Structure 1
């Protein structure tokens, strides 16, 4: 058995530190598997938290989410210096702005293994010059990468068909998602004792749920419109909403409705949303665009059927009529009809929940995805012949 001459070094980079939570326990796994793992993002409590919990090395560089030429050049120079000084074997970037800066810096620093992990395509919901600019940036970032990962097979097909990347450069790890799910403990209904009484819900209440950022692109406007129709038809109907209120993208009346409607339970941003899934009868996820749709498999792992938009990512996990329903994006009527169907057919709702739970446990096991990524890393590094890994 050959010995390792040095620990291979990998850098994971995101724009904002909260995005690093998508790699929960994956970073620790890579560390235990013989890699020296670094993370880089803008400063924040989440960065400190991830560094401590994952036992990795952290780097702070302020990165603006929006285009800011002067600040972007400063960020690029600082990232370049870190990458050059640390001599990483792999630079693995996530989120659009960090991806562009990271790939430019890694290319300039001579890093051979440059991975861009595409989580989604923000330009898809933009129009005009902004759409063209964001699409051009995506294409440039893909061209700078030596390998492009996508979080779903449908997203890979899309970026290849639209010539953002060469087909041979793009792949999806296993069945998709960025990190898989821990269905043994975290996303296992048996792990939680939160009851409906804890949220002042009656046992007779039917509970709809939404999880995600509270922004227009997630379909909040259509959800609220459908909600008004449904609650006038159905007694004892409640709506649980979990997620962060982000930049003003909704009307003041929409925010007020979420906060003031006595039948809407807004629980805010949660460190662990799994207990709330256990209270839901149906998850409604009317997003306009998605890379994968993580909340869909989270809900399914908890035995909850999902009504989701027929968009990239969601089509990878929702088998229409088997573990949920796919509706057209922006369709208030679609939300109303499918929710009403589930409320009128509890046996179908239960069967779809069970089917979804089985699918997630079979296709999105966390350790399977981690091991597939680890094998890729080993192959890339051995192919570059920069370090010798023990067999």
Structure 2
């Protein structure tokens, strides 16, 4: 593989989808691929993790890119100094910076925009900006066909869009690496309890009120249940209060943010995701990699990961009756639970391994770099 110098312009290095994907690049890319990162804020929670890899990090806080041209020129000088040929972006601010540099300072660079959300939180002016800026990119990489379908036609031509599914480190997310009994004891969970769990930050689209209310109903039918909620976020305290209101606070464990969710996954009997919207949820493939049966709402990329009744179970979003029926079936039918867990694990290792993802990204970077 020939040497390629890449720049990634990213808002922060906190624990989120784009940041974790970039950390995967830093850990698993071959040494011929030089990763340079420009962070446009001072949020750097993952800095120590990135510094364990051979990456160069430039911190340059930018509030309004169109008002801080001197900083854009500084990034251009950095690109020139590092002999960067491909610039990667994840948000409108980063894309605006890259497009300005390509249009006025260095027409030779190639731009890859990574589409990491579903645009549902974008205001009209943001969608208009994205529509304009995407005309200048050489490639847009989406992590699901659902995301691709949102972009194509309205924002960018189909020939400039590629889908690369997220990958999971199947060596790390391996049930054999974790002792469920000792971790259950640590969290005061009796060995005979059935642990229903989820890994998702507390945001509106994750639909935690639905999950908590459905769990309360299930708890009346199956009296040996525990709900494990792994994640943090702005709605965490509100959901703790809601759990008290509906009388399940002693049966729900809220862990807050976790740097490594594998230990928590290791004690789950079933993995649940009740989202209203999804791109490509990493939690599902992490759980599947560990052989945990998955029940998820049939939204976004969930439909691309799960073959209903074969590798997991899907239910209509916000349909409590369907959801509770799925959970009860798995609790009562151990053969079905085992089959779905095994099939899901095999599916993940065949389609969503870290190796497969890394190879796909490397091929894309080589193709784009070859056009410089």
> Does TM, normalized by the shorter one, top 0.5?
yes
Is 1:47–1:58's contact at 8 Å kept on the other side of the alignment? no
Residue number among 150, 154, 157 corresponding to 2:149 in the alignment: 157
Q: Counterpart in 1 of 2:215?
A: 227
Q: Counterpart in 2 of 1:135?
A: 127
Deviation at 1:95, TM superposition (A): 4.1
RMSD (Å), alpha carbons: 2.7
Match status 1:35 vs 2:26: no
Q: Secondary structure at the match of 2:111?
A: strand
**Larger deviation: 284-293 or 38-47?**
38-47
Distance change in 2, residues 1:96/1:305 (3 Å): farther
Q: Counterpart in 2 of 1:236?
A: 224
Residue number among 153, 172, 178 corresponding to 1:192 in the alignment: 178
Match status 1:169 vs 2:167: no
Q: Counterpart in 2 of 1:183?
A: 170
Aligned equivalents of 2:321 and 2:223: distance in 1?
19
Aligned equivalents of 1:76 and 1:273: distance in 2?
41
Is 1:238–1:263's contact at 8 Å kept on the other side of the alignment? yes
Q: Deviations over 1:238-269 (max 9, x none)?
A: 00010012268957833766998111111111
Is 2:216–2:248's contact at 8 Å kept on the other side of the alignment? no
Q: Counterpart in 1 of 2:71?
A: 78
Q: Secondary structure at the match of 1:239?
A: strand
Q: Counterpart in 1 of 2:299?
A: 311
Aligned equivalents of 2:243 and 2:97: distance in 1?
34
Is 1:222–1:331's contact at 8 Å kept on the other side of the alignment? no
Aligned equivalents of 1:340 and 1:271: distance in 2?
31
Matches within 5 A, 1:256-271: 261-271=249-259
Aligned equivalents of 2:102 and 2:199: distance in 1?
35
Q: Deviations over 1:146-202 (max 9, x none)?
A: 110100123213322x522101000113xx11xx11112x11111112422222112
Matches within 5 A, 1:1-391: 8-18=4-14, 19=16, 20-30=19-29, 32-41=30-39, 42-62=41-61, 71-74=64-67, 77-87=70-80, 88-110=84-106, 112-123=109-120, 131-160=123-152, 163-173=154-164, 176-177=165-166, 180-184=167-171, 186-195=172-181, 196-246=184-234, 253-254=241-242, 261-384=249-372
Deviation at 1:339, TM superposition (A): 1.1
Aligned equivalents of 2:115 and 2:328: distance in 1?
35
Aligned equivalents of 2:57 and 2:26: distance in 1?
12
Q: Secondary structure at the match of 1:54?
A: coil
Q: Secondary structure at the match of 2:6?
A: strand
Q: Secondary structure at the match of 1:122?
A: coil
Q: Which runs of 5+ in 2 are unaligned?
A: none
Is 1:120–1:291's contact at 8 Å kept on the other side of the alignment? yes
Is 1:286–1:330's contact at 8 Å kept on the other side of the alignment? yes
Is 2:276–2:318's contact at 8 Å kept on the other side of the alignment? yes
Aligned residues: 362
Deviation at 1:80, TM superposition (A): 4.6
Aligned equivalents of 1:96 and 1:248: distance in 2?
28
Q: Which runs of 5+ in 1 are unaligned?
A: 65-70, 385-391
Is 2:62–2:71's contact at 8 Å kept on the other side of the alignment? no
Distance change in 2, residues 1:26/1:43 (3 Å): same
Q: Structure 1 segments of 4 or more deviating over 3 A? A: 71-77, 95-109, 247-253, 255-260
Q: Deviations over 1:304-341 (max 9, x none)?
A: 11111211111110111112111222223332221112
Is 2:243–2:249's contact at 8 Å kept on the other side of the alignment? no
**Larger deviation: 278-287 or 131-140?**
131-140
| TM-score scaled by length of structure 2 | 0.88
